[in-house]
Amino acid sequence: MTSLIAGLLAGFTLASPTTLLSTNDGSQVALQRRPGAGSPVLLVHGLSSNHHSFDLHGRGLAADLQADGYDVWMLDLRGRGASASPPGRPQWTLDDYGRHDVAAAIDHIRLTTGQPRVAYVGHSMGGMVLSIYHHWHGGAALGPCVVLGSPLIFEHPDPLLRMSTHSMAAGSILRKVPSQAAARAAAVLPRTRRVDRMLFNPGATSSATRRAMYRSIVSPMTSAELDHLGQIVQSGRLVSADGTIDYVASLEDWSAPLLVVAGRVDQIAPPDRVAAWLDYTAASDTTWWVAGRSRSYPEDYGHLDLILADDVSAELHRDILTWLSEQPWSGPSRAP
């Protein structure tokens, strides 16, 4: 609780410099930067979210990486946060995120820093988008990569996934789904038990953190996104919106060091769906963790706990920093 209050106070004085980038399909995306003298790391958020997933009023993975010396960049995917919707094109899919938005961010970071490779951390859909980027652009520009609660395979749907499919079908009727307004409404309630337990473990995430998350990290979704997700669920694996590209199969020539993390009680991306990264990537340097009591953490992690649990900095993020420091890369994070 103390760290959250300190972060909230710090948030009034801390501001990440913002750069607006043009993508090669005419959109515009925003990069937030927490500068450091060390190697560059790009953070990419999940579905219906924005860069505050990693920088919630001064606390989160961005601050943890910066404190360890890294040069931290956070991407707002198109239509999220400070990024604009493409002019004259109100709809887009996950394909656009990986093919255009992430590519623009990585190219800009490499040009700005002079570093040939950029480390990548993706939460939830942000990890799925990494595989899309890899299909279109390969892995030459990628340093060590971390995927947090990012599913690839959707076979054997459980009740939650079937319910999500119905929600996608209903949401696709609308051009834009007002998830941001719904989250802000939830923030004023003491608890929304069913939704809360789906998103995080209340034992790991306090009421104060919950309210801050609901107020800040949620962005609207588009019907085309939901249609694409429906196509993915129907196919049972991560495919393109038109169903012609199997992004999972494209991982067979993966080469970057890869850390795959699942939350023990994650209902959005259960460990078996996240573990598919181990089955389909050819990299010999692949590490698998399940975040929770099996790693001696006091609580098992849910979906949002992977990035914003109250003690995540001293638990999972500490371990991620250790893993990054052990990778053959552009040298140590801290400058002399």
pLDDT at 249: 95
pLDDT at 165: 53
Mean pLDDT of 146-169: 70
Which tens digits make up the pLDDT trace of 280-336?
Answer: 997 678 999 999 999 999 999 999 999 999 999 999 999 999 999 999 875 444 442
pLDDT at 222: 86
pLDDT at 311: 97
Q: CB of 40 within 8 A of CB of 113? A: yes
Which tens digits make up the pLDDT trace of 72-94?
Answer: 999 999 988 889 777 776 789 99
Q: How many CA atoms lie within 13 A of 180 on its CB side?
A: 14
Query: What one-letter code names the amino acid at 52?
Result: H
Is the model more confident about 209 or about 42? 42
Closest Cα partner for 207 from 125, 132, 310?
A: 310
Is 90 exceeded by the pLDDT of residue 195?
no
Query: What one-letter code names the amino acid at 5?
Result: I
Superfamily of domain 2-325, CATH level 4? Alpha/Beta hydrolase fold, catalytic domain (3.40.50.1820)
Q: CB of 231 within 8 A of CB of 135? A: no
Question: What does pLDDT average to over the chain?
Answer: 85
Is 90 exceeded by the pLDDT of residue 12?
no
Q: What is the pTM of this model?
A: 0.87
